[in-house]
Chains A and B, each alone.
Chain A
């Protein structure tokens, strides 16, 4: 594509990008993620009371909702409530807040938050603005009324006047990289400061800041602006920006054993952001000792 390899590695940050096979659907990736979770924790499947699937690239034309197809593929209980959440890079944090509120209002004790948004469905392989950034991925997060991580203070927002900075036209993704960079540099530090202020915390009180890996350059720019040096792991080199799956994939890849409090910040499509604090429960802190 005429882009120097060291630029790709040092600035964009991705040496490999994961791609689903052409025959695989969004719910196939999601199914694999959930099954991996069920294999690791046997007995969960029969207890699922609700499931939310975050995607903007659903199976087929989006009707029925992909969460219904995923529910069928997983053989979940008929009483399980399922719905899709149409959000991009801010989808995981917003999904956590939506799912928790839904569970609390309905008295549910258990649920699943699934992310699966394979951008390879909409990427033009010859478009240098997008083809070197996005990877396909899916994640499954178990939600419980006795969680390992508690959702703490949050901050959400959107600069909707810039919604055309990242959009699909004629089936292909178009991205205005400079507008997204300007959006992130202008609004994300403020959002993180807002959450810290709400939680009455300083940067030193948070063990890690997991920032959406739009690119290595964006993460490093935010790290520098906020003075977070050494606290923002970039671990997506070998799979790419997996949109709403990015943050839970970082959580899976980073050793959080010694972390009691982390901050998550997703930003992108919309152009929106969602920031939250996750706090390890006292029970699990004790178990880690």
Chain B
């Protein structure tokens, strides 16, 4: 089974759809969400959508790694495929 890894644009689309009053045009790949003004609840929501969309499990101890666009992409690349 081939793994579906999101692009930077894919993740920006998720953020755009989940956070109404946030502009992703200036969000760099390695920019930490918290530094960019994304709070912990919106971060949780983004990770929920990513998990559903890419059939991947992001446990609590991986939240720190998944705190930027680059971090999420890297995590999904390395994560095992969920059945």
Whether the Cβ atoms of B45 and A181 lie closer than 8 Å is yes
- Contacts A7-B39, A11-B39 known; A178 to B52 CB distance under 8 Å? no
* Pair B41/A217 contact, Cβ less than 8 Å: yes
Asked whether, in the complex, the Cβ of B52 is within 8 Å of the Cβ of A186, the reply is yes
Is A178 a contact of B45 with CB atoms below 8 Å?
Answer: no
Min Cβ gap B20→A in Å is: 8
Q: Is the CB of B60 within 8 A of A178?
A: yes
B54 in contact (CB, < 8 A): no
* Chain B binding surface, main DSSP class: helix
Q: How far is the CA of A7 from the CA of B43 in the complex (A)?
A: 14
For residue A221, which residues in chain B have a CB less than 8 angstroms away from its CB? Answer: 45
Residue B22, interface by CB 8 Å = no
Contact A182 B48 (CB under 8 A): yes
What are the residues of chain B within 8 A of A177 when measuring CB–CB?
44
Partner of B48, one of A7, A11, A181: A181
Q: Is A235 located at the chain interface by the 8 A CB criterion? A: no
Which residues from A are CB-within-8-Å of B48? 181-182, 185-186
- List the count of A-B residue pairs having beta carbons below 8 Å apart: 22
Across-interface contacts of A11 in B (CB, < 8 A) = 39, 41
> Measured between alpha carbons, how far is A186 from B55 in the docked complex, in Å?
13
Please give me the residue from chain A that is nearest to B20 by CB atom: A224
Chain B neighbourhood of A178, CB < 8 A:
44, 60, 63
Residues of A contacting B41 in the complex (Cβ-Cβ under 8 angstroms): 11, 181, 217
* Cβ of A212 to closest chain B Cβ, rounded Å: 17
Min CB distance, B55 to chain A, in Å?
Answer: 13
Question: Chain B's nearest CB lies how many Å from the CB of A240?
Answer: 17
CB distance from B22 to the nearest CB of A (A): 13
Alpha-carbon distance between A147 and B32 when the two chains are bound, in angstroms: 55
Which of A176, A177, A178, A186 lies at the interface centre, i.e. has the most chain B CB atoms within 10 A of its CB?
A178
| Contact residues, A3-36 vs B (CB, 8 A) | 7, 11
What distance in Å separates the Cβ of B67 from its nearest Cβ neighbour in chain A?
A: 14
The interface residues of chain A lying within 8 Å CB-to-CB of B39 are: 7, 11
Query: Nearest residue in B to A221 (C-beta to C-beta)?
Result: B45
Per-residue B-contact encoding for A193-222, CB less than 8 Å = 1, 0 else:
000000000000000000000000100010
Q: Separation in Å of the A234 CB from the closest CB of chain B? A: 15
CB distance from B9 to the nearest CB of A (A): 22
Task: Specify which of B39, B41, B48, B60 lies most central, judged by the most chain A CB atoms within 10 Å of its CB.
Answer: B41
Complex Cα gap A277–B54 (Å): 34
Give chain B residues whose Cβ lies under 8 Å from the Cβ of A217.
41, 45
Interface string of A174-192 (1 = CB under 8 A from B): 0011100110011000000
Establish whether residues B44 and A181, one from each chain, have CB atoms under 8 Å apart when the complex forms.
yes
- 14 of the cross-chain contacts (CB-CB < 8 Å) are A11-B41, A177-B44, A178-B60, A181-B41, A181-B44, A181-B48, A182-B44, A182-B48, A182-B51, A185-B45, A186-B48, A186-B52, A217-B41, A217-B45
Chain B residues with a Cβ under 8 A of chain A:
39, 41, 44-45, 48, 51-52, 60, 63
User: Which A residues have a C-beta under 8 Å from some C-beta of B?
Assistant: 7, 11, 176-178, 181-182, 185-186, 217, 221
Given A181-B44, A181-B45: 13 more A-B contacts, CB < 8 Å: A7-B39, A11-B41, A178-B44, A178-B60, A178-B63, A181-B41, A182-B44, A182-B48, A182-B51, A185-B45, A185-B48, A186-B48, A186-B52
